[in-house]
Amino acid sequence: MKSYPWLKHYEPWGVSPVSFLEIQLLSEIGRGRVDQPRFTENVMDDSRFRVDEISVVNLAQKSLELSWTRDPFDRLIAAHSLARRVPLCSIDQAMLEHHKHIVRELR
């Protein structure tokens, strides 16, 4: 596995609960394989991660500002980053092109 020393700078990594649902649904349609609920439990128990609970109202309000995507998960995850004013780590091309708080090393 390739090492990315810059990742240490962002620990603990904030995780949107929306990510767990997206990962599960991608697994269900064959675009990945996840052992749930073990995966979510492992992330929640790993000190490198912090699951960040956020108000659904706040998430919805920020999501309304993001017209560059029609993917509901991308919209919610980007909105979470905006609402918390924290950088987002993503390799999704639309996120890299449009989200203003992408981890600078990924731009």
* pLDDT the model gives residue 106: 75
* pLDDT the model gives residue 18: 96
SS3 80: helix
* pLDDT the model gives residue 9: 86
Can you tell me the distance from the alpha carbon of 98 to that of 45, in angstroms, rounded to the nearest whole number?
Answer: 32
Query: In a structure prediction context, what are the per-residue pLDDT tens digits for the chain, which is 107 residues long?
Result: 566 788 888 899 999 999 999 999 999 999 999 999 999 999 999 999 999 999 999 999 999 999 999 999 999 999 999 999 999 999 899 999 999 899 988 76
* pLDDT the model gives residue 17: 95
- The alpha carbon of residue 47 and the mean position of all alpha carbons in its chain are separated, in whole angstroms, by 17
